[in-house]
Chain A
Amino acid sequence: MPNDGTAPGGRWRGALIFLGAFALGNAWAGSMHYGIAAQREANLGHQRQLEDAVGTPRRDASTGEALGKYWPHIPDARAQRLVVVVGMSQMYWINDQKAGDQTISEYLDDHLREQNVRVFGLAAPNLDNEEALLYLLATASAPNTLPYAFIYGICFDKFRNTDLRPGLQAFLRSRPELLRTWEDVAKRHAKTHPLASAKMLATQKDLQAQQAQGENTFESRLRTRVGSWLPVVAARKNLHAAFLSELYLFRNWALGIKVSTKRPIIGARYDLNREFLELLASEAKTRGVKLLPYIIPLNPQAESPYVESEHRGFKQWLSALSQRAGLPLVDLEDAVPKEEWGLLRGEPDFKHFTGAGHRRTARAVAAAFDRELLEGLAPTHP
């Protein structure tokens, strides 16, 4: 008689096979987990060495994931003029990095510190405008971090991203006063920026719910405890990230997507990010912070993945916004020559350059905004 596992003898065999297969998966997850943990420990050690070598951090090296750790290193805005430089991965990623290479914000800091102006970099991969707004509200919420200017490298492609990343959520959640400001801003802009306002309130509601539960809920303690017995539970976040990464590569393979494949915008996300940028401009003005936006450099050698008409429309909209809000927008799209970029998956990297590219961009930003940044300061040298 065929046995499908439900016959009396087969039921226990089925249970054993189930447990055996699960145990195998668990063991595999365990080996992944410990491997990733070891790698992370090595990376952290390397990061610590780098930080020790450069001294006090001049940017959030955690790229938004442990912002609270770097927050105390923001130069005191009461003692000098503070400028924060905000943007996506172009701000911190250095292709073919060599000893002595720095990022845009660090080059700018070198350039301006003699004038008693200090620069701090706040960048995160795929930074969206809701996150940029959080950086503005967070820095402007205390006198010691209140920036004189907020330089924002705007990337068209990032108008497809939404939400605060977990690290920034944790940062906002841990600052009740900032969370209240967040809510206040959302409510004030409910009529003028309904999409952004609704999104901010949704974020706030989520965070307050998390706050009400507390960081250390029974559920989270239980998960940690189960994780100490079952490696697959302990490793679930790493495995989830690895799964998404594999899925991303599979998608690229299955759909024939390359770095240069056209990447149309998604309406709902684009509209949301536009509102967030308008709101950012409005809030910067309200708080007396100079918003200095620039369109980030792009690799002239790479084939653009943007849909030309959409990109053109974006730049027209951004120009109109800048005029309306009185922002000194500069377009640095062609500022970095082809020699100063790197490769991404075998193709010219569209958005990330070498140390030379960082230096050149910093110079271009300084040339564009020096007058704004140094306004009212006595020159320290001829």
Chain B
Amino acid sequence: MIFSTYTYALFLAATFAVHWLSPRPTRPWILIAASYVFYASWDWRYLALLVFVTCFNWAYARFVLEGKDEAPLWPGVTVNLLVLGYFKYTNFFLDSAGGLVRAAGGAWQPSTLDIALPLGVSFFTFQGIAYLIDVASGESAFRSLRDFTLYKAFWPQLIAGPIIRPAEIREQLEAPRSFDYEDLAEGGKRILRGAFKKIVLADALAPQVDLAFLGQGTPHALDTLAGTVGFGLQIYFDFSAYSDFAIGSARLFGFRFPENFDWPYAARSPQEFWNRWHLTLSRWIRDYVFTPLSFATRAQPAWRPFWLIVAMALCGLWHGAQWTFVVWGTWHGVFLAAQQTVLRKLFASSSFIGRSVGWLVTMVVVFAGWLVFRASTLELAMAHARALVTFSGGIRPALVRENGVLVVALIATGTLMTTLFHQPVERALARSLTARWVAPWLRPTLYAGMLLAIIVLDQEAKAFVYFQF
């Protein structure tokens, strides 16, 4: 059940109605049941895995709490990692090991195992690890299994985040919730915005980007450039749309989820980018990977940049069992480390020129990273990078002539929207929208126009990019 389908709209409307018309004590159970229906609609067989991960983390957290300082944390974390590792990385490690053996002169060719990736496994196992670590560090645990089950299974965040920390949701789950018009209006608007980004922007970009990254051909400089910029925008529109759907859907039931994006392409340094892009994952990596590693070597601060690179490489690997993702993460790690060391001055300038240079360098780093991220293999990524540097294929305005002018228009619009003008535009909008006569008409009409555009331009339910992670 993809968020951008009519089926989801029906599911959401039905759950909303049943939930708010039911007596208060039954509401959490309704949300749990709806969440399981939602997950089972993808593949009912993996429902057992979700239930297992939920029960295990609940029980192990109780064990840690009751055992106080003597209960070890690592077995609980390991079980979560084993679940993630088995489903997501088994074939990757087998392939890589086989490659190493062959490079060393051996002839081992491990056969690939037929393991399907359960949707959302990366997210709900990370959430489980975070919960165990938080409980072990003294954070309050969930008081009831019911609330914990809902925390783990609540469908808006189940498949692709935001990765919510227990502390952010526990009180909301435990507190009584009442229907609120503001929640309905804000949730609805957020979902509408998500649908617009997904259907009108991301899905329109997808086929053009796919073509630019078609495997094993000889890439052309302009195609690669357009494909890379297009992918950067596609993944932003796609993933932030998913987050909008998630945040909006949760809001309809009175829950406030943390934001996941904050104008990432306006970032003026790599560090700022990661404070604006996939915020809940950045926070997770910082708190549960980088900080413990840095703390362990706190006597040697020189290790910090190294741990930063390691943490980002793991962040890349989390995205998928492919070396391109590891290289992507490492690439970002290197620039984050550089920002703290050799490039400190470049990104610290407060002058207009200095900030502009910082933005430009950051965008080059980010979009070069997207090229590696999108390419299916490292060889293809290298071929595209070579094409960009050598201008192979020449600089021809071929794409501009395509009916993909839609894409060009989207790229231009998207770039403008997400970078240079968002602040002045927001200020101007805020001024005009508070005007007595314009505001009441403008915003609702705009939303109606967005809804009509969504219906008309809908290409019939394409999966979100982040579902594969």
Query: Chain A residues in contact with chain B, CB under 8 A?
Result: 2-6, 10-11, 13-15, 17-22, 25-26, 29, 160, 162-163, 194-195, 198-199, 218-219, 222-223, 226, 230, 232-233, 236, 239-240, 243-244, 247-248, 251, 254-255, 257, 261, 263-269, 271-272, 307
Q: Which residues of B contact A254 (CB under 8 A)?
A: 405
Decide if B444 touches A251 in the complex (CB within 8 Å): no
Cβ-based interface call for B455 (8 A):
yes
Interface residues on B, range: 35 or more
Q: Are B439 and A222 in contact (CB under 8 A)?
A: no
**A354 CB to nearest B CB, Å:** 27
List the B side residues contacting A2 at CB < 8 Å: 434-436, 439
Pick the residue among B214, B396, B448, B449 that contacts A272 (CB under 8 A): B214
Decide yes or no whether B451 CB sits under 8 A from chain A.
yes
| Chain B residues in 8 Å Cβ range of A13 | 440
**19 A–B pairs (Cβ distance < 8 Å), ordered by A:** A2-B439, A4-B434, A4-B443, A5-B443, A14-B440, A17-B441, A18-B445, A160-B402, A195-B217, A222-B7, A226-B6, A236-B456, A255-B401, A263-B401, A265-B396, A266-B402, A267-B218, A267-B398, A271-B217
Which residues on the A side are within 8 Å of B398 (C-beta)?
264-267
Contacting pair B403 A244 (CB below 8 A): yes
Report yes or no: B448 in contact with A22, Cβ–Cβ below 8 A.
yes
Contact residues in B for A248 (Cβ distance below 8 Å): 403
State whether A268 touches B443 (Cβ < 8 A). Answer: no
* Complex CA–CA separation, A235 to B217 (angstroms): 39
Taking a contact as CB atoms closer than 8 A, the residue among A11, A195, A257 that contacts B216 in the complex is: A195
A176 to B373, CA, bound (A): 35
Do B400 and A195 touch (CB < 8 A)?
A: no
Interface contacts beyond A222-B10, A251-B405, A272-B217: sample of 5 additional A-B pairs, CB < 8 Å, sorted by A: A17-B444, A22-B452, A195-B216, A219-B7, A236-B458
B393 in contact with A4 (CB, 8 Å): no
For A28, give the chain B residue with the smallest CB separation: B452
| Given contact pairs A4-B440, A5-B439, A272-B214, A264 touches B445 in the complex (Cβ within 8 A) | no
A14 to B457, CA, bound (A): 25
Measured CA separation A310–B432 after assembly (Å) = 52
Q: Which residue of B lies closest to A243 (CB)?
A: B456
Bound-complex Cα distance A219 to B10 (A) = 10
Chain A residues within 8 Å of B456, by CB: 29, 232, 236, 239-240, 243
Residue of B nearest to A24 (CB): B448
Q: Which residues of A are found within 8 Å of B133, using beta-carbon distances?
A: none
Residues of chain A contacted by B6 (CB below 8 angstroms): 219, 222-223, 226
* Interface membership of B223, Cβ < 8 A: yes
B365 lies within 8 A of chain A by Cβ: no
Query: Is B185 in contact with chain A by the CB < 8 A criterion?
Result: yes
B440: chain A residues at CB < 8 Å are 3-5, 10, 13-14, 17
Residues of B within 8 A of A29 (CB): 452, 456
Among A4, A226, A247, residue most surrounded by chain B Cβ atoms (within 10 Å): A4
Q: Which residues of B contact A268 (CB under 8 A)?
A: 211-212, 214, 217, 219-220, 223
How far is A162 from B443 in the complex, measured between Cα atoms in Å? Answer: 39
Q: Give bound CA distance, A18 to B451, whole Å.
A: 10
Is A218's CB under 8 angstroms from B211's CB?
Answer: no
B40 in the interface (beta carbon within 8 A): no
Which residues of chain B (143-168) have a CB below 8 Å from chain A?
Answer: none
Q: Which residues of A contact B217 (CB under 8 A)?
A: 195, 267-268, 271-272
Most chain A beta carbons < 10 A, residue from B5, B10, B448? B448
Interface centre among B6, B10, B212 (most CB of A within 10 A): B6
Contacts of A15 in B (CB 8 A): 185, 444
Which positions 379-407 of chain B face chain A at CB distance < 8 Å? Answer: 393, 396-403, 405-406
- Which residues of B sit under 8 angstroms from A264, Cβ to Cβ? 396-398, 401
Give the CA-CA distance A10 to B438 in the complex, in Å: 13
Is there contact, CB below 8 Å, between B211 and A269? yes
Contact A18–B216 (Cβ < 8 Å):
no
**Is B466 an interface residue, CB under 8 A from the partner?**
no
**Nearest chain B CB to A88 CB, angstrom units:** 16
Q: Does B352 contact A (CB under 8 A)?
A: no
Q: Is B447 an interface residue (CB 8 A)?
A: yes
Chain B residues whose C-beta falls within 8 Å of the C-beta of A26 in the assembled complex: 452
One of B7, B182, B207, B451 near A22 (C-beta < 8 A): B451
Cα A218 to Cα B443 with chains together (Å) = 33
A6–B433 CA distance with the chains assembled, in angstroms:
11
A267: which B residues are within 8 A, CB to CB? 217-220, 223, 393, 398
Contact of B399 with A233 in the complex, beta carbons under 8 Å = no
Q: How far is the CB of A342 from chain B (nearest CB, A)?
A: 23
User: Which residues of B418-469 are within 8 A (CB) of A?
Assistant: 433-436, 439-441, 443-445, 447-449, 451-452, 455-458, 460-461
A233 vs B7: C-alpha distance when bound (angstroms): 14
Q: Which residues of A contact B461 (CB under 8 A)?
A: 219
Within the complex, the shortest CB–CB distance from B404 to chain A, in Å, comes to 9
Distance A10 CA – B207 CA, assembled complex (angstroms)? 42
Which residues of A lie under 8 Å from residue B219 when comparing CB positions? 267-268
- Contact (Cβ within 8 A) A18 B10: no
Q: Which of A14, A25, A251, A307 contacts B449 (CB 8 A)?
A: A25
Contact B457 A243 (CB under 8 A): yes
Q: A194, B452: Cβ atoms under 8 Å?
A: no
Q: Which residues of the partner chain B approach A163 to less than 8 Å between Cβ atoms?
A: 207
The distance from the CB of B16 to the nearest CB of chain A, in whole angstroms, is 16
Structural contact, A3 and B436, CB atoms closer than 8 A:
yes
B-chain residues with CB within 8 Å of residue A194 when the two chains form the complex: 215-216
B220 to chain A, nearest CB (A): 3
Q: Which residues of B contact A307 (CB under 8 A)?
A: 396
Instruction: Kindly state the separation between the CA atoms of A2 and B442 in the bound complex, as whole angstroms.
Output: 14
**Please, which residues of chain B bring their CB within 8 A of the CB of A21?**
444-445, 448-449
B185 x A11 contact (CB < 8 A):
yes
Instruction: State the CA gap A257–B135 with chains docked (Å).
Output: 64
A242 to chain B, nearest CB (A): 9
Q: Which residue of A lies closest to B400 (CB)?
A: A255
Most buried by A among B181, B396, B401: B401
The reply to whether A266 and B216 contact each other, CB–CB distance below 8 Å, is: no
Q: Which residue of B lies closest to A194 (CB)?
A: B216
Smallest CB gap from B436: residue in A: A2
Asked whether, in the complex, the Cβ of B443 is within 8 Å of the Cβ of A14, the reply is: yes
Tell me whether A198 and B444 are in contact (CB under 8 A).
no
**Most B C-beta atoms less than 10 A away, residue of A18, A198, A272:** A18
Question: Which residues of B have CB within 8 Å of A6?
Answer: 182, 185
CB distance from A20 to the nearest CB of B (A): 8
Cβ 8 A contact of A271, one of B218, B402, B444: B218
In the assembled complex, the CB of B9 is this many whole angstroms from the nearest CB of chain A, namely 9
Look across to chain B and name the residue whose beta carbon is closest to the beta carbon of A248: B403
**With A and B bound together, what is the CA distance between A34 and B397 in angstroms?**
40
Give A247 to B408 CA distance when docked, in angstroms: 12
- Whole-angstrom distance from the CB of A275 to the nearest CB of chain B? 8
CA distance A243 to B454 in the complex (A): 13
